[in-house]
Structure 1
Amino acid sequence: MHFIEWYPRGYGVGFKIKSKLLETQSKFQRIELYETEGFGKLLVLDGTVQLVEHGEESYHEPLVHPVMLAHPNPRRVLVIGGGDGGTLREVLKHKTVKKATLVEIDDMVVEISMLYLGIDRGLLERLMKKEEPRGELIIGDGVEYMKNSGEKFDVIIVDSTDPVGPAKLLFSEEFYRNAYDALGEKGLYITQAGSVYLFTNELLDAYKNMKKVFDRVYYFSFPVIGYASPWSFLVGVKGEIDFTKIDLERAKELELIYYDPEKHETLFQMPKYVRELLEKD
């Protein structure tokens, strides 16, 4: 038995499967959970791989820590999506954080992740019971929350599905303008932006939209287990922050597996033709 996620041009990423643990339909999407042969549990939403249990840090670490370490004092953080708890888990490793809010639209993703997946290390249950003083879980539309909450954030992290289909709204100019407004005087915004090779046009579109809004925009890539890597990420800057420089002293407090703060500059390697497309006027 196997599971394959098919990308454009007939490219697939597959896993050998021991068993299907569950399959259900929420109000928003089809949710599947498998036990793989070599990577633990596999979470799939609407046919697309979200994470594998053994290796999920290869996604969550580059999504969280580069922006957290580049910001001089990240105290208030908003996570949109990320109902599995992995992103918020990494955010709360930073002692500067006073409040981190996770807004997930699909309560069933949270429930399944909490009961069957466990990469949150018990965080989701603590949030449910109001036992995590620095964290908050809101079941709702993250787009509307960001636009209407009136709060200002130091860092906004969008842990969304791929930049195709329903999630395209999260890569629109309008959404970026709302994100910019929700940041404080100095703020950083980050989103995953799809496969460098197979979602190149979507990456270019998102980058162009972000450049219309943010003071500066950075792109980088990272090899993520379970995805058609290299995987792209986009960072929007509000105010005077240099994303190429991070706080290595604060980085020493973190226990990381994949992202290496001492080699932060390696994030910015991008295939030559993709870089030229991104930098083309």
Structure 2
Amino acid sequence: MGFNEKERAFIEWYPRGYGVGFKVKEKLFETQTKYQRLELYETEGFGKLLVLDGTVQLVEVGEESYHEPLVHPVMLAHPNPRRVLIIGGGDGGTLREVLRHETVERAIMVEIDEMVMEISKLYLNVARGAFEDPRAEVMVDDGVKYLRETEEQFDVIIVDSTDPVGPAKLLFSEEFYRSAYEKLSEKGLYITQAGSVYLFTNELLDAYRAMKNVFDRVYYFSFPVIGYASPWSFLVGVKGDVDFTKIDMERAKKLELYYYDPERHETLFQMPKYVRDLLEGTQ
């Protein structure tokens, strides 16, 4: 796994010998932060590539294919998302997309690794002013601890974390979901990325079952993300009577999105039959 000097390529190897790779022009930066190894590359066709502990986080060209489906379906399904909490998302892409919604009065972002934010600000064209927006409050803290201790209520909680294995495993625990449920307002939506549909199927199933024990309703969907072992899965937890299958098209028309298509919102819910059977417990 990682940078191959001879081939001038970065390859992330997934389970069962499956890999996702990019041709690399040069390595721009590498450091060991307090929490993880951070690498930055210039690719041949996708701009800069951000890597944490050997796993691809994003490429500049196409990063919206992850940030748009993570943010806009829940924001548009909520009737009035005014207070939003983002856990993770140090590159600023999730915060950027959240702040595109005029309803948002306050967006709190909690990132545990300050170095990820600093390097992203210096090298990546992702946040695009989001960190300086007056509605944004960015803090360096442990998201698990913050959610457990805060007394604030949120309309939408978005978890933009690394994969549901290793250090991020706590973010996919039933205990964490219970903290999130308690901090959602009467009508609230929670969303998390949940890994590769084909290659992290067991992790997806575990997270889905844990969320089902907590939230009033749980939805799953997938989306093709550039740089990941797609299709990539997402899980949505509902508190109250919010209908995640329906979105506000008037608000959607103002966004001019590139990857997620609000007019085809129902296509999000396409999932391979065997995975759907596993999720629904029929297999």
Which string of whole-angstrom CA distances, capped at 9 and with x for unpartnered residues, describes residues 76-97 of structure 1?
0000000100000000000000
1:107 paired with 2:108, answer no
Q: Displacement of 1:140 after TM fit?
A: 0.7
1:273 paired with 2:280, answer no
Q: Displacement of 1:5 after TM fit?
A: 0.2
Which string of whole-angstrom CA distances, capped at 9 and with x for unpartnered residues, describes residues 12-41 of structure 1?
000000000000010000000000000000
Contact 1:114 1:122 in 2 (8 A): no
Q: Displacement of 1:272 after TM fit?
A: 0.3
Which string of whole-angstrom CA distances, capped at 9 and with x for unpartnered residues, describes residues 190-226 of structure 1?
0000000000000000000000000000000000000
Q: Work out the CA distance in 2 between the residues paired with 1:169 and 1:77.
A: 21
- Write the mapping of 1:214-233 to structure 2, written as runs, cut at 5 A: 214-233=215-234
Q: Displacement of 1:137 after TM fit?
A: 0.4
Q: Displacement of 1:45 after TM fit?
A: 0.2
Which string of whole-angstrom CA distances, capped at 9 and with x for unpartnered residues, describes residues 229-248 of structure 1?
00000000000011000000
User: Could you say which residue in structure 1 is the equivalent of 2:61?
Assistant: 54
1:72 to 70, 73, 79: 79
User: Could you say which residue in structure 1 is the equivalent of 2:127?
Assistant: 120
Q: Displacement of 1:166 after TM fit?
A: 1.1
Q: Work out the CA distance in 1 between the residues paired with 2:142 and 2:168.
A: 12
Which string of whole-angstrom CA distances, capped at 9 and with x for unpartnered residues, describes residues 113-160 of structure 1?
000112111323x2xxxxx22111011111111111100000000000
User: Could you say which residue in structure 2 is the equivalent of 1:24?
Assistant: 31
Q: Work out the CA distance in 2 between the residues paired with 1:267 and 1:36.
A: 29
Residue identity opposite 2:42 in structure 1: E
1:244 paired with 2:250, answer no
1:35 paired with 2:36, answer no
Residue identity opposite 2:15 in structure 1: P
Contact 1:219 1:235 in 2 (8 A): yes
User: Could you say which residue in structure 1 is the equivalent of 2:4?
Assistant: none
Q: Work out the CA distance in 2 between the residues paired with 1:242 and 1:153.
A: 17
- Runs of 4+ aligned structure 1 residues displaced above 6 Å come to none
User: Could you say which residue in structure 2 is the equivalent of 1:201?
Assistant: 202
Residue identity opposite 2:137 in structure 1: E
User: Could you say which residue in structure 2 is the equivalent of 1:44?
Assistant: 51
User: Could you say which residue in structure 2 is the equivalent of 1:15?
Assistant: 22
Q: Work out the CA distance in 1 between the residues paired with 2:269 and 2:73.
A: 11
Q: Work out the CA distance in 2 between the residues paired with 1:155 and 1:255.
A: 21
Q: Displacement of 1:187 after TM fit?
A: 0.2
Q: Displacement of 1:73 after TM fit?
A: 0.3
User: Could you say which residue in structure 1 is the equivalent of 2:91?
Assistant: 84
Q: Work out the CA distance in 2 between the residues paired with 1:53 and 1:21.
A: 14
Which secondary structure does the structure 2 equivalent of 1:263 belong to? helix
Contact 1:154 1:186 in 2 (8 A): yes
Residue identity opposite 2:43 in structure 1: T
Q: Show structure 1 runs of 5+ residues with no match.
A: 127-131
User: Could you say which residue in structure 2 is the equivalent of 1:158?
Assistant: 159
User: Could you say which residue in structure 2 is the equivalent of 1:262?
Assistant: 263
Which secondary structure does the structure 1 equivalent of 2:257 belong to? coil
User: Could you say which residue in structure 2 is the equivalent of 1:129?
Assistant: none
Q: Work out the CA distance in 1 between the residues paired with 2:90 and 2:202.
A: 27
Which secondary structure does the structure 2 equivalent of 1:133 belong to? coil
Which secondary structure does the structure 1 equivalent of 2:258 belong to? coil
Q: Show structure 2 runs of 5+ residues with no match.
A: 1-7
Q: Work out the CA distance in 2 between the residues paired with 1:38 and 1:133.
A: 34
Q: Work out the CA distance in 2 between the residues paired with 1:17 and 1:187.
A: 42
Q: Work out the CA distance in 2 between the residues paired with 1:226 and 1:20.
A: 17
- Write the mapping of 1:153-192 to structure 2, written as runs, cut at 5 A: 153-192=154-193
Residue identity opposite 1:277 in structure 2: L
Contact 2:99 2:130 in 1 (8 A): no
Which secondary structure does the structure 2 equivalent of 1:151 belong to? coil
Residue identity opposite 2:222 in structure 1: S
Q: Work out the CA distance in 2 between the residues paired with 1:229 and 1:192.
A: 12
